[in-house]
Chains A and B, each alone.
Chain A
Amino acid sequence: MAQRLLVPSMNETTAETHVRTVLVVDDSRDYVEALCWLLQELTRWRAAPVCTIAEAIEHIEHQRPDAVLLDLQMPPSSGFHFLDVLSAKFKERLPAVYVVSGNAELLDRARGDQRVKAAAIKPADPESLAEWLNAMPTS
C-alpha cells in the first residue's frame, strides 16, 4: 500500500468548473511533497504527486493530467519510458511536459525531444514552474 503523500487538498475558493491538474513525478518523496504544496499555493492548479514511474503510469490510466513535471532519472525505470507511455496513450492530446532533472546529459536529450515543452536543471525555481503553469492556455 503506497504511503499517502502530504499535500493538502485545493482551497475551496479556487474551485472552477474544471480544475487543471499537473502530475508531479520525482523519486524524492520530500521534493515531490514540497513542490506540490508550493504549486498549489502559487497557481490555480491541482498538483498530483507520484514517486515512481509505476505510480505515474497507474495515475494516467484513470485520468489525463493537463501537464506533467517529470524527473528523468527514476530507477528502476526512467522518465523517458513514462514519456513513451504518455504519448502512446494520449497521442495528439499529449499533456504539456516540463522536464526537471539533475542529470545534465539526460536533460540535453530531453531538450531535443519534441514531446517535451520545457526543461530545467534542478533545483528549478518553483516560481518559474508556477509561471509556466499559469501561462498555459486552457484547452
Chain B
Amino acid sequence: MELSEFILANAPLLAAECGQFAGTLLPAADSLDVEALRNHTEQMLRKIAADMQRSGPAAQRGQDAERTNAEGEALSAAQVRGDQRAEEGFTVSQTVAEFRALRAIVLRRWLETRPSIEAAGFEELIRFNEGIDQALAEAIHRYSVAITLDRSQFLGVLSHEMRTPIATILSSAHALRLAADRQSTLPPAIERTQRAARSLVSVLDDLLDYVRCGVRGGMRLTPMAFSMDELCKEVASDMSDGYPDRAIEFESDGDLRGTWDEQRITQAVQNLVTNALKYGAPRTPVLVAVRESDEGAQVVVEVHNSGPPIPPRTLESLFKPLVRGSEDDESGISLGLGLYIVREIAGAHGGRVEAESTDAGTVFRLVVPKAADGIRTSGFGNLGKN
C-alpha cells in the first residue's frame, strides 16, 4: 500500500497514537482530555496524504481550511493546532516534538506493513516529509503569532490593573496638597493612598506568581497542619471589613483538618471571594461553605454568588491566564490572574478548582486532599506545626 493510502486508511489510529504521546507533555497536557490531545491530528494527516497524491511542491498544494478565526482568516488544521497549543500552555519544544512523534509513528507503522522500500516508496517518503515540514512551519508560525498576541494582551492587562490605583494615589496626593495649601480639614486621602499602594503590590505579587508558575515548573508550597474552616472563617471575616456593603456568609461541616500551605490557601480563598464580590449581583451576599468529600479524604471550599449565569464558553476560559471571556465583553470578566493563581494553588496541592454557573448563581469549588502526599513542596515544609 502506498504511504498516502496507508495514512488515509489508518488516520484515526495514527492520530490516537500521537495523542498518547501528547499526553506525556506535562504540565500543559495535564488539563486536557483525550479528544483535545489528538484534536486536528487526523485532519492534518488527511491533508498531508491528499497533498501527497497531488503534484507540485508542498507549500503550493491544497489550502483546505479547517477553521476560520475571529478575523475571518481561513486556518489549516496545522495552524489551528499551533494556535491551540500556545493557548493550552505547551512550550514551542513540545509543539515541535508532537510533529516529530507524528512523523515517527506514521513511518514506523507504514514500514511494519512492507518488507522493503522501492524507488517509488522513497519518493513518497520525501513527499510525506515535505508535508509534515509544511504543517510544522504553519503550526509554529501560528504558535508564535498567538504568543505575541498573548504578550500584548498581558501588557495591556498589567497597564490597566495598575492605572486605577495610580490614579487614586495621584488624586489623593493632589487632595493632600490642596488641603495643606488651604489649611482646610485633611481629607481621608492617606488611607486611600495606602489602600491603592497595597492594591499595586497585590498586582505585582500576582504578576510574580504568574511568571514563577510559567518558568519554574509550577508553584512550590510550604505545607503545615491546620483547620480549613478556621482559615476560611477568618478570610470571610477579614474581607467583610473591606466590603461593608456586602454580606459574606460562612458555614462549615465535618472534620476539616489537613495539611496545606496556609498562605497559599488563604490567597486562593481570598481570590475566590474577591471574584464573587466583583462579578456577583450587587448587594447580594456571598456564601463561603467548607465541607468534607470523598469519604473524608478531601476538603471542599465552595464560594457562591448570585447573578446571571456565566456562558459555558466563558466558564471554560476563566482559569486561563489573561484570556478574555468573550471578544465582545467590555465588562472585563476574566481579565487578570486571580482565578489562574487559584488553579495553580489547587494543582500544587494535588487538588483542583471548578466552576458551575446556573440561574441560581455561580459556585467556585476548591477541592484539596487532606493528606500532604500530592503536594509540590519547596523543600522547606513545616509539616508538624500546628
CA distance A33 to B191 in the complex (A): 12
A104 to B156, CA, bound (A): 8
Expressed in whole angstroms, the Cα–Cα distance for A37 and B190 within the complex equals 14
Contact A34 B172 (CB under 8 A): yes
Contact with A along B127-162 (1 / 0, CB 8 A): 000000000000000000000000000001001111
* Residues in B whose Cβ lies below 8 Å from that of A2: 245, 283
Residues of chain A lying within 8 A (CB to CB) of residue B163:
102, 121-123
Distance of A38 Cα from B171 Cα, bound (Å): 7
Whether the Cβ atoms of B167 and A122 lie closer than 8 Å is yes
- The answer to whether B195 touches A30 (Cβ under 8 A) is yes
Q: Give how many A residues have a beta carbon under 8 Å from the other chain's beta carbons.
A: 40
CB distance from A26 to the nearest CB of B (A): 8
- Count the A-B residue pairs with Cβ separation under 8 angstroms: how many? 106
Tell me the count of chain B residues lying within 8 A, CB to CB, of chain A. Answer: 38
Task: Decide if B307 touches A1 in the complex (CB within 8 Å).
Answer: no
- Residue ID in chain A nearest B281 by CB atoms: A76
Per-residue contact bits, chain B 186-212, to A (CB 8 Å; 1 contact, 0 not): 011100100110000000000000000
Residues of B within 8 A of A42 (CB): 178
Contact (Cβ within 8 A) B175 A41: yes
Q: Is the CB of A76 within 8 A of B279?
A: yes
B174 touches A38 (CB 8 A): yes
Nearest CB on B from A30, distance (A): 4
The complex places the Cα of A79 from the Cα of B329 at a distance, in Å, of: 12
For A33, the chain B residues whose CB sits under 8 A away are 188, 192
Chain A residue with the shortest CB-CB distance to B157: A103
Flag whether A23 is at the interface (Cβ < 8 A).
no
Does B333 reach chain A (CB closer than 8 Å)?
yes
| CB neighbors of B among A83-139 (8 A) | 102-106, 109, 121-124, 126-127
* C-alpha gap A85/B340 in the complex (Å): 34
Q: Is A28 an interface residue when CB atoms closer than 8 A count as contact?
A: yes
Which residues of A sit under 8 angstroms from B166, Cβ to Cβ?
122-123
Q: A75-B331, A78-B331 are in contact. Are A126 and B307 (CB under 8 A)?
A: no
Measured between beta carbons, the chain B residues less than 8 angstroms from A78 are 330-332
Task: Give the complex CA separation of A3 and B283 in angstroms.
Answer: 11
B244 in contact with A3 (CB, 8 Å): yes
Residues on B lying within 8 angstroms of A by beta carbon are 156, 159-168, 170-172, 174-175, 178, 187-189, 192, 195-196, 244-245, 278-283, 307-308, 330-333, 335
| 29 contacts across the A-B interface (CB closer than 8 A) | A2-B245, A30-B168, A30-B172, A30-B195, A30-B196, A34-B172, A34-B175, A34-B192, A38-B175, A38-B178, A41-B175, A41-B178, A42-B178, A55-B282, A72-B330, A73-B335, A75-B278, A75-B332, A76-B278, A76-B281, A76-B307, A76-B308, A76-B331, A102-B159, A102-B160, A104-B159, A105-B156, A126-B170, A126-B171
Q: Which residues of A contact B (CB under 8 A)?
A: 1-3, 6, 8, 26, 28, 30-31, 33-35, 37-38, 41-42, 52, 54-55, 72-80, 102-106, 109, 121-124, 126-127
